[in-house]
Amino acid sequence: MDEGHVIVIGGGLAGISAALACSDAGRKVTLIEARSHLGGRVSSVKHPRQDWQLDNCQHACFRVYDRFLQLMGRANAQQSIKLQANTHLPFALPEKKVFSALTTGRLSPPNHMMGSMLSFPFLSMRDKLAMRKAVKALSSMDNQQMWQLDDTLFIDWLRQNGQTERAIDRFWAFFVLAALNISIQEASAAQACMLFKNGLFGAADAFDVGAFTSDLSDSIEPALSSALEQAGVKIIRNSTVKSVVIENNVLHFCRIEG
């Protein structure tokens, strides 16, 4: 195998992006995916008894996901996503029949949601006042300071910055799960601080929600496959990589089970 040949294992969004980047850099690229379709967790599965495609979980995107939107643009798949014209994030407490939404107003970030936050029924005034300390800390944080928090859990950082348990549960945890796809108990402070500084409190339209216009596999897989093929990437599906042997930084052997 020549030294310019790159093998990407896994056809999720990260693998697809890596394959395209390597191809753009002039490398010969082969992408290997264990399943019959690309997209990783952003995909659909067929209902076992009905002829339906079901998304494997609820997926959405936000305008702050600029790299993902760039990938969709590269694949000419912009029409597969519909973005909100203005941020509108609904919240509900069905057992008490309480409903509300966070929306953007006329103020500049990080105060652009202040109007809807003041009337937000799921937090007390004490919860809301305490949030000012965390917002101030996020607003003044630079990238180096954020990455120094990689070994700190975000939930611990929030408690250290005076956040109430109710605010953590009903505000911070909601955005962490929606945007990072992990629970607040698992998220590092570096990840979450980057999200809130550059996203929610960084730009007024950052959390405009984007929804897919059809099932995920139909929205994404054909367009991404086409983009890879046009870039000259060889795609091997239904193949699981069992082992990779590297000696002196050179890949010598890769066993694939089809």
Which domains are delineated in the chain? 5-56+216-257 (3.50.50.60), 86-207 (no CATH)
Other CB atoms within 10 A of residue 247 CB: 8
pLDDT 10s digits, 146-195: 999 999 999 999 999 999 999 999 999 998 988 888 899 999 999 999 98
Please say if the pLDDT value at position 2 is more than 60.
no
* 3-class SS of residue 245: strand
Q: How far apart are CA 137 and CA 133, in angstroms?
A: 6
Please say if the pLDDT value at position 222 is more than 50.
yes
pLDDT 10s digits, 82-98: 999 999 999 998 888 99
223: exposed, middle or buried (Cβ count in 10 Å: 0-12, 13-18, 19+): buried
Cβ–Cβ under 8 Å, residues 27 and 5: yes
Q: pLDDT value at position 168?
A: 97
Other CB atoms within 10 A of residue 11 CB: 26
Q: pLDDT value at position 215?
A: 80
Other CB atoms within 10 A of residue 53 CB: 15
All residues at 6 or more sequence positions from 49 whose CB lies less than 8 Å from its CB, including other chains: none
Nearest Cα neighbor of 100 from 114, 89, 111, 86 is 89
The C-alpha angle 114, 96, 185, rounded to 5 degrees, equals 65
Strand pairing category for 28-32 and 234-236: parallel
Greatest extent of the chain over all pairs of C-alpha atoms, in Å: 64
Give the bridge partners for 91, in sequence order. 100
Backbone φ/ψ region at 248: left (φ over 0), alpha (ψ -120 to 50), beta: left
pTM greater than 0.75: yes
